Amino acid sequence: MEKIPGLGLGIWKAAPEEVTEAVKVAIDAGLYHNENEVGVGIQCKVKEGMVRRRDLFIVSKLWCTCHKKSLVKVACTRSLKALKLEYLDLYLIHWPMGFKFSQSGEIDLPVDHSGMIIPSDRTSWTRGRSPVGPAQPRGRVAFSPPSAMEDLVTPGLVRAIGVSNFNHEQLERLLNKPSSRFKPVTNQIDCHPYLTQKNLISFCQWRNVSMTAYRPLGSSSEGDAPDGRPCDPDDLSEAQEVCSSGYE
């Protein structure tokens, strides 16, 4: 696989009308349910002759309701169709837990009568409380996504596979699977000056798995610090200093 670029454009929570233009600007600068808009932006720049497909490194993710083996290729094909692409450079398991499959395929977050996420019976990588729902069962030993995602590499639907939001125990179990044909090349995690993830980064480096940081400056919808405190200018200055030092 070609080297993963050092900087990428994330479009989660971006308004649909903003995504296409953001992708165009990102391509000019060299840099999920938004896939249709991303595809439009990419094709516009390809038609303009600004960029070729092979010059772009495009990543998508397998959502939690599609962990059933028969659904992995379906989900990937759906993403490729929305993005108007023939292949993905990297395909990630979005979270190390599965949600109940929706027959309609339109429910991203299946919930019970009390508003709690309904887990899939195929989850085997999680213990304790899910970051987006109730406590997850340890589930069965079988876990479809890794092997099913490997099946996407050989026919060329994806160039490489990886994971997202895996802790070191979950990642190690995956890396130690004796039947694996393709190892995950990266672990995409929430990492920023308020959450440095030093131990997990060290583990990834030790196991030769690259680490991709999302929200590298922290994030919140209300303008607060990641831990819920109101933003302090001194804190922001410190965060900016830490981030700046990483590029020196």
Q: Are residues 63 and 177 in the same domain?
A: yes
Q: Are residues 49 and 63 in the same domain?
A: no
Domain-located, residue 157: yes
Mean pLDDT of 149-174: 94
Domain-located, residue 27: yes
- Are residues 84 and 101 in contact, defined by beta-carbon separation less than 8 angstroms? no
pLDDT tens digits for 102-123? 665 567 778 888 888 888 765 4
Which single residue is written with the structure tokens 């700046």? 244
Residue 10 confidence class, pLDDT cut points 50, 70, 90 = low
User: 82 in helix, strand or coil?
Assistant: helix
Both tokens of 108, joined, read: 């991203």
Q: Are residues 175 and 68 in the same domain?
A: yes
Last residue of a domain, one of 184, 205, 238: 184
Domain-located, residue 220: no
Q: Are residues 33 and 87 in the same domain?
A: no
Look at residue 101 in the predicted model and tell me its pLDDT.
79
Last residue of a domain, one of 169, 184, 199: 184
Domain-located, residue 173: yes
CATH of the domain at 166: 3.20.20.100
Q: Are residues 103 and 140 in the same domain?
A: yes
Q: Domain range holding 132?
A: 58-184
pLDDT tens digits for 197-215? 999 999 999 999 999 988 8
Domain-located, residue 80: yes
User: Cα(60)–Cα(216) distance, rounded to whole angstroms?
Assistant: 19
pLDDT tens digits for 19-74? 667 666 655 555 445 677 788 888 888 898 888 989 888 999 998 888 888 889 99
Question: In this model, does residue 137 exceed pLDDT 90?
Answer: no
Q: Are residues 96 and 167 in the same domain?
A: yes
Look at residue 184 in the predicted model and tell me its pLDDT.
94
Q: Are residues 159 and 66 in the same domain?
A: yes
Last residue of a domain, one of 184, 206, 226: 184
Q: Are residues 46 and 66 in the same domain?
A: no
Number of domains in the chain: 2
Mean pLDDT of 71-97: 92
* Cross-strand pairs, 135: 129
Q: Are residues 107 and 144 in the same domain?
A: yes
Q: Are residues 71 and 22 in the same domain?
A: no
Domain-located, residue 202: no
Q: Are residues 89 and 32 in the same domain?
A: no
Q: Kindly report the three-state secondary structure assignment for every residue of 181-217.
A: CCCCCEEEEECECCECCHHHHHHHHHCCCEEEEECCC
Domain-located, residue 246: no
192 is in an annotated binding site: no
Domain-located, residue 225: no
Tell me which residues are annotated as active site.
32
Q: Are residues 91 and 153 in the same domain?
A: yes
Which strands form 210-214's sheet, in the order they lie side by side? Answer: 59-62, 90-93, 161-164, 186-190, 210-214
